[in-house]
A and B are shown apart, each in its own frame.
Chain A
Amino acid sequence: MPERVNYWGIPHDWGAPELYVYTIMFGAALIMLYRFYLRASLWWKVGRPEARWDKLHIRIWKLIQYAIVQTKVLNQRYPGVMHVAIAWAYFIFFLGTALTTIHERFFKFLFGNVLFAYKFVLDVFTIIFLVGVGMAIYRRYSQKPKRLTLDPGFTFSLVMITVIVLGGLLTESFRLAVEQPAWAWSSPAGWIVAQLWIATGASDAVLTNWHLVAWIFHLLTVAGTIIALPVGTLLHVLTGPLNAFFAKLDRPTGELAPIPLTPDGDQIYASKLSDLSWKQLLDGDACTECGRCQDACPAHAAGTPLNPKELILSVRDALRADAAAVMGGNGDAPDLVGEKIAEEVLWSCTTCGACVEACPVLVEHVDTIVDMRRHLVIEGAVDAELQTALSNLGRYGNSFGKSDRMRARWAKGVDPKVKDAGREQVEYLWFVGDYASYSPTLTGITLKTADVFQKADLDFGILYKGENHSGNDVRRVGEEGLFEMLVEKNLKALSRSKFETIVTTDPHSYNTLKHEYPANGNGEWKVMHYSELLDQMIASGQIKFSKKLGYKVTYHDPCYLGRYNGVYDAPRRVIEATGCEIVEMPRNREDGFCCGAGGGRIWMEEGEIEERPSESRINEAVALDGVDAFVVACPKDVTMYADAVKTTGQEEKIIVKDLIELVHEAM
């Protein structure tokens, strides 16, 4: 029965070959680890502390999911298959090498059918690897997608990992050419190459010598690559899994962390490298420069200065360039914000989270951007429009600069009168939100919402002038103090009211009320988006439709409803219940494309842009076949897209409808 022969054809004249192998490999590993330590220690030496060690079992699961199975990598077909072919092949090669060591030193098991299977799997993955490399070469040197960094470092890595595998294949093929065993079929790749050597008619001795050369070459390239790993583009092999392991677990995506504090309790506003946490610095080193975030980013697509990939790389490059100065404490390290990352870059972000969703190694771009915005706000570096909005929010509790007594003016003619939740108990507290309350163009939709609720006999009320802006976007602008102030005011009004569930039409309010408002003395309340409530009422028969609308519509996922809170199906069920057919846009659900208004962008100067995100979205919808309406489930979306329909001149082709308009019409 065939058994695996260790160190076949390797002369023992200079001593046991394993001595060389172990010396070289352990040496290489030590050098690699030392160099990696030099690099990694900067994270905690420069960055501030942040607790990310809890819930180990979830962390290990994340590691398996994102670093080993690589589910996010696989979200995109071509680059996903390409990367996984290479990565999984290396996992298998690594495993294979480990198994030989076990076989050699601890437990003999590689013989007979087990050996055949072992060899076969390794060889198949060699072929899979080579396919992956072929795809990589085509992508990097022929397709050259814009998002890729075309840097010699990547070519070097690609060459090295290919040379290692080819070296292994050569070694195997020379051995097979000499042995020509009956079971050569179990090494299909090696056997095919071996045919070449057999065809040359070279003697066994010559081939055995060549085998030795190939074996040494393979050993040295592996060692060299390991040594080079911490300073090259292959670093992500270590940092990617680490980043997945240390992913944010302490809070939902929709919740931002409060402003970090120094040990003395002073607030830290991120302007310098040392203001970022070690994890934020790790994000920089974990970045593989794949550019998926860049492709997903609405601000980048619009031609603003923000490129999420460049932003994260700026952090990485700053760490490389300035860590010594920061640690030396001589204070001449340049600021991150302003010098390495321009203010306009930070202000361009809509906080839509598409970059975070796209990132295969779980980089947390938005949190870092908001941290840096907090610094800009505390420095007063806000544009005039944003300043007006923030001042209005501070003074009046709304961005419109209108009196709080006008907040419920829309409800003036509603009959029966909308209940004041501060005075009488209701089941549902409708948190109306600024845009639905104050924007004159949205009054019609707000009234229809009230009408639907009343027709469905929903027991609901509003806070009247007690309601303030929820603060979701105030927080994302970086005005944490104002956010806290708005939360205090709203909690005061909420604690005076008796209700069971908050319902809101605004996904932004929904997000912050659900995740960022501390449950107060009133007990925990449930927060629902109106799409969820409508869905529930339709299912229970509380809302009955009298007709089928029969429109062909498309649906836009609001970022703070979809990506941030995973509510994708409820609004779609509601639309279908009204008798409409949904045609999905190419960018839907998790890949939904932001309207451009989030993160406080709606309050800021637009700046130089090429195409507004909302216009890009309308063009996307118009390209669908025969769609009459663009359905949204967010008041700001109504405003943004109604404008975009006008500016793109598509008024004849498509109209923007709020979800409630469909429900109202079908009732």
Chain B
Amino acid sequence: MNNDIYVVIEHVREQVADISYIMLAAARDLAQETGGEVVGILLGQDADGLAGDLAADKVLYGEDPALAEFTSDAYQNALAGLIRENAPRAVFFGSTTIGTDVAGVLSARLGLPLVSSCLKIDDGMIVSQICGGKIMTESNLADTTTLITMIPGGYKPEEGQGGSPEVTPVAVDVADLRVALKEYIEPEVADVDITQEDVLIAIGRGIQTEDNIELAEELAELLGGAVCASRPVVDQGWLPTPRMVGKSGQLVKPKLYLALGISGAPEHVEGMAEAENIIAVNIDPGAPIFDIAKYGAEVDLFDLIDYLLEALEDA
């Protein structure tokens, strides 16, 4: 086993996902402890150009037509071989639709320990969270290659950008495929592109009823922004899917993110942690949203909205 830290670079349709840069930043912290290099693993077809600005010491590039777009078993097979042969100190995967399809399978296949939901590396310790962010854990690197899935929040993507690593092609074996990508289905066209808004009024379970969304709309109008939501609101069909912020939704970075009745589950936080100013209103003082917000208020949502509407109309 060597001391290198591997990062499985995630990309969809020729775009490197932000989580890849976040993982590189974390890997850098870890490599400083182990004294190894940060190595990006890039799998794809005609994708070596994506390695361009990765803040890695080097990039291993595995090319195969079957890797052109992500499928779980092609990645599993290709990575199993690479990890087995090179035995790095640790491998980072995104805690994403791509990374979690691979990390667990490799953990079982290769008999390697896996740490879920790593937020950051702190003095060589892997700091991760469970229970929707209500519990933090710390783990040491194991004696074998340690697999880690990473969530956003601990690093900014910029910290993992700006490198110009050397790209080394490696042979990969993707034999025996049982999963095939048929097509991508585009999300329904958004009436409002919430990723472009400076002000977002975000609503969660706490909004209680569909009718109350009107209140959020009024606020958004007065502040010149738009309404977005966490998953429960969209699952109810109260707002269209393009308004969803989070892991399976949009990644937003507005100037103001006013979170109303959102508890702040990690899946949601992933989509909005980069907002400049997060203000959270929630009646539950233990809501994890208060851990990432700049300002918080532990009051009844609807009373506050009433006063806020009044105050904004006056202002």
In the complex, are there CB atoms of A and B closer than 8 Å? Answer: yes
Instruction: Note all chain B residues with C-beta closer than 8 A to A606.
Output: 209-211
Residues of B within 8 A of A384 (CB): 236
Least Cβ–Cβ distance between A615 and chain B, in angstroms:
13
Complex contact A646–B210 (CB within 8 A): no
What residues on A are CB-neighbors of B299 within 8 Å? 440
Scoring A440, A605, A646 by chain B CB atoms within 10 A of each residue's CB, the highest score goes to A440
Report the count of interface residues on A (CB-CB < 8 A): 7
Cross-chain contact B283 with A440 (CB below 8 angstroms):
yes
User: Closest approach, in angstroms, between the C-beta of B285 and any C-beta of chain A?
Assistant: 11
What is the CA–CA distance of A384 and B233 in the complex, to the nearest angstrom? 11
Write out, one digit per residue, whether chain B residues 283-315 have a CB within 8 A of any chain A CB (1) or not (0).
Answer: 100000000000000011001001000000000
Of residues 209 through 227 on chain B, the ones whose CB sits less than 8 Å from some CB of chain A are 209-211
Determine if A267 is an interface residue (Cβ-Cβ < 8 Å).
no
B3 to chain A, nearest CB (A): 47
A440 CB contacts on chain B under 8 angstroms: 283, 299-300
Specify which chain A residues have a CB less than 8 angstroms from the CB of B306 in the assembled complex. 646
Contact call B209/A605, Cβ cutoff below 8 A: yes
| Measured CA separation A385–B236 after assembly (Å) | 9
A606 vs B213: C-alpha distance in the bound complex, in angstroms?
13
Does residue A441 face the partner (Cβ distance < 8 Å to B)? yes
With most chain A CB atoms within 10 A of its CB, the pick from B208, B209, B299, B306 is B209
Mark contacts of A439-468 with chain B using CB atoms, 8 A cut-off: 1 yes-contact digit, 0 otherwise: 011000000000000000000000000000
Bound Cα distance A387, B211 (Å)? 17
Q: In the complex, A605→B208 CA distance in Å?
A: 10
Q: Is the CB of A385 within 8 A of B209?
A: yes
A646 to B303, CA, bound (A): 10
Give the docked Cα–Cα distance between A364 and B12 (Å). Answer: 63
User: How many residues on B have C-beta within 8 angstroms of the other chain's C-beta atoms?
Assistant: 10
How many whole Å from B210's CB to the nearest CB in chain A?
7
A379 vs B303: C-alpha distance when bound (angstroms)? 37
Encoded as 1 (CB less than 8 Å from any B CB) or 0, chain A from 34 to 65 comes to: 00000000000000000000000000000000
Q: Which residue of B lies closest to A440 (CB)?
A: B300
CB of A396, distance to nearest CB on chain B (Å)? 14
Least CB distance from B7 to A in Å reads: 40
Q: Which A residues are in CB contact (< 8 Å) with B209?
A: 385, 605-606
Residues of A within 8 A of B211 (CB): 606
Rounded to whole angstroms, the CA-CA distance of A606 and B283 in the bound complex is 23
Roughly how many angstroms separate A440 CA and B304 CA in the complex, as a whole number?
12
Chain A residues near B303 (CB, 8 Å)? 441
| Cα(A6)–Cα(B299), bound, Å | 87
Minimum distance in angstroms from A224 CB to a CB of chain B: 56
> Which residues of chain B (56-101) have a CB below 8 Å from chain A?
none
Q: How far is the CA of A246 from the CA of B299 in the complex (A)?
A: 53
Max chain B C-beta neighbours (<10 A), residue from A384, A605, A646: A384
Return the chain A residue nearest B236 by Cβ. Answer: A384
* Bound: A385/B209 CA distance, A: 7
Give chain B residues whose Cβ lies under 8 Å from the Cβ of A385. Answer: 208-209
Q: What is the CA–CA distance of A105 and B299 in the complex, to the nearest angstrom? A: 86
Beta-carbon contacts under 8 Å, B258-303 to A? 283, 299-300, 303
Q: How far is the CA of A427 from the CA of B303 in the complex (A)?
A: 37
Q: Which chain B residue shows the least CB distance to A402?
A: B284
Find chain B residues with CB under 8 A from A441 CB.
300, 303
A646 to B283, CA, bound (A): 21
| Cα of A646 to Cα of B306 in the assembled complex, Å | 9
Using a CB-CB cutoff of 8 Å, which residues 570-619 of chain A contact chain B?
605-606
- Closest CB-CB distance, B251 to chain A, in whole Å? 27
Which chain A residue lies CB-closest to B211?
A: A606
Nearest neighbor of A443 in chain B, beta-carbon distance: B300
Q: Determine how close the nearest CB of chain B comes to the CB of A413; give it in whole angstroms.
A: 15
Report Cα–Cα, A40/B211, bound state, in Å. 47
Please indicate the chain A residues that have their CB under 8 angstroms from the CB of B236 in the complex. 384
Nearest neighbor of A388 in chain B, beta-carbon distance: B205
Q: Which of A625-667 contact B (CB under 8 A)?
A: 646
Nearest to B303 among chain A residues (CB) is: A441
For the complex, what is the distance from the CA of A385 to the CA of B283, rounded to whole Å? 19
Distance A263 CA – B211 CA, assembled complex (angstroms):
46
Residues of A within 8 A of B208 (CB): 385
Q: Which residues of A (418-454) have their CB < 8 Å from a CB of B?
A: 440-441
Q: How far is the CA of A48 from the CA of B303 in the complex (A)?
A: 51
Tell me the nearest residue of chain B to A401, going by C-beta. B205
Q: Which residues 33-68 in B have Cβ within 8 Å of A in the complex?
A: none
Complex: how many Å from CA A646 to CA B208?
A: 18
Bound together, the chains give a CA A441 to CA B304 distance in angstroms of: 11
User: How close is B143's CB to chain A, nearest CB, in angstroms?
Assistant: 41
A109 to B154, CA, bound (A): 107
Alpha-carbon separation in the docked complex, A116 to B194 (Å): 91
> In the complex the two chains form, what is the Cα distance from A572 to B287 in whole Å?
43
Expressed in whole angstroms, the minimum distance between the Cβ of A9 and any Cβ of chain B is: 75
Distance from B174 Cβ to chain A, minimum over Cβ atoms (Å): 43
- Tell me the minimal C-beta distance from B298 to chain A in angstroms: 9
Within 193-217 of B, Cβ neighbours of A (below 8 Å) are at 208-211
Closest to B301 in A: A440
Complex-state Cα separation, A384 to B234, whole angstroms? 12
A605 pairs with B210, CB closer than 8 A: yes
Nearest-neighbour CB distance to chain A for B153, whole angstroms, equals 26
What is the minimal beta-carbon distance from B41 to any residue of chain A, in angstroms? 43
| CB-defined contacts of B283 to chain A, threshold 8 Å | 440
- A646–B307 Cα gap in the complex (Å)? 11
Q: Write the nearest CB–CB distance from B133 to chain A, whole angstroms.
A: 18
Told that A605-B209, A606-B209 touch, could you supply 12 new A-B pairs with CB distance under 8 A?
A384-B236, A385-B208, A385-B209, A440-B283, A440-B299, A440-B300, A441-B300, A441-B303, A605-B210, A606-B210, A606-B211, A646-B306
Hey, which bits of chain A sit against chain B, CB under 8 A? 384-385, 440-441, 605-606, 646
13 A-B pairs with CB atoms under 8 Å apart are: A384-B236, A385-B208, A385-B209, A440-B283, A440-B299, A440-B300, A441-B300, A441-B303, A605-B209, A605-B210, A606-B209, A606-B210, A646-B306
